[in-house]
Amino acid sequence: MTSALSLRGLYKSFGPTSILRDISLDIAAGTRHTIIGPNGAGKSTLFHLITGRLRLDRGEVWLAGENITGLSPHAIFRRGLARSFQVTSLFPRLSVFENLRIAGMRNAGCGHAFWRRLDGFAELAEQVEEMLTLLELGPRRDVAADALAYAEQRALEIGLALVGGAHTILLDEPTAGMSRAETERTVTLLRRLSAGRTLVMIEHDLSVVFDLADTITVLADGGVIASGPPASVRGDARVRAAYLGAAAEVLT
């Protein structure tokens, strides 16, 4: 089966400092995959390499069977790999509905065949409605983005990246700064949004990780020290020694 995402021998240094060394990873389509590891391990850097924001020193990135190494972030996004943007990418004064509609138009692309079809706009409206339902923001559709609660804004950000059909989404610490209740809501949301898609997520909250992930990769000391289903990662002696030590109570 073709992997949603395949990383082959990735290397990245900043100046003389080697951050990632020979990272190889296959992520099966339709799964939820979580990346964990200590601060500074290079998790965010890895996402920047996948999305084309940073250049690889060596290695290849394949998306759904296509080599996307060296493509621009825009070109990669157009191939169905979305990442969530910062809160600042919301239009604060526009309604939830308008934010999603504009993102849907942007995601479809102005020159896209979509707009040459008479039903292009109807299809967009349908996608926006579907996303409103998935995000559970239907009742908030006419509220300005800056009047939403924090967790609702983060949910809308993810929706903006996904509306129009990305098949793979990368999220960097989606529950950062959230209360326990907001985190639980977000886990439910991610479960729903990831149905029929591939979700790759960096997450520091281990209860979220073990609740949501089909597979887990542990990044430490510039490399993948373990990768597999939660039960195997939980029991891995190297993982406990390198990373999980203090947090081991979550795992027992």
Ligand X SMILES: Nc1ncnc2c1ncn2[C@@H]1O[C@H](COP(=O)(O)OP(=O)(O)O)[C@@H](O)[C@H]1O
Among 10, 41, 108, 148, which residue interacts with ligand X (rule: CB under 6 A)?
41
Q: What does 162 interact with, of Mg ion, ligand X, none (CB < 5 to 8 A by kind)?
A: none
Nearest CA to 158 out of 136, 180, 184, 143 is that of 136
Amino acid at 210: F
Residue 113: CB minimum distance to Mg ion, A: 37
**Binding segment for ligand X among 23-31, 43-51, 88-96, 135-143 (CB under 6 A)?**
43-51
Buried b (16+ CB within 10 A) or exposed e, 4-33: bbbbbebbbeeeeeebbbebebbbebbbbb
Please state, in angstroms and as integers, the Cα–Cα distance from residue 13 to each residue in 20, 25, 55, 57, 101, following that order: 7, 19, 10, 7, 39
Q: What value, to the nearest 5°, has the Cα angle with vertex 47 and ends 213 and 37?
A: 55
Does 42 participate in binding ligand X (rule CB under 6 A)?
yes
**Which residues touch 207 (CB under 8 Å, ≥6 apart)?**
250
Q: Tell me which DSSP letter residue 1 carries.
A: -
Residues 90-129 that bind ligand X (CB under 6 A): none
Residues 42-71 that bind Mg ion (CB under 5 A): 43-44
Does 9 participate in binding ligand X (rule CB under 6 A)?
no
Among 6, 24, 44, 153, which residue interacts with ligand X (rule: CB under 6 A)?
44
Does 150 participate in binding ligand X (rule CB under 6 A)?
no
**Binding segment for ligand X among 24-32, 34-42, 104-112, 223-231 (CB under 6 A)?**
34-42
Q: Tell me which DSSP letter residue 96 carries.
A: H
Among 23, 25, 36, 43, which residue interacts with ligand X (rule: CB under 6 A)?
43
Contact 39, 65 (CB under 8 A): no
**Binding segment for Mg ion among 37-45, 160-168, 180-188, 223-231 (CB under 5 A)?**
37-45
Question: Where on the chain is the footprint of ligand X (CB under 6 A)?
Answer: 14, 19, 37, 39-45
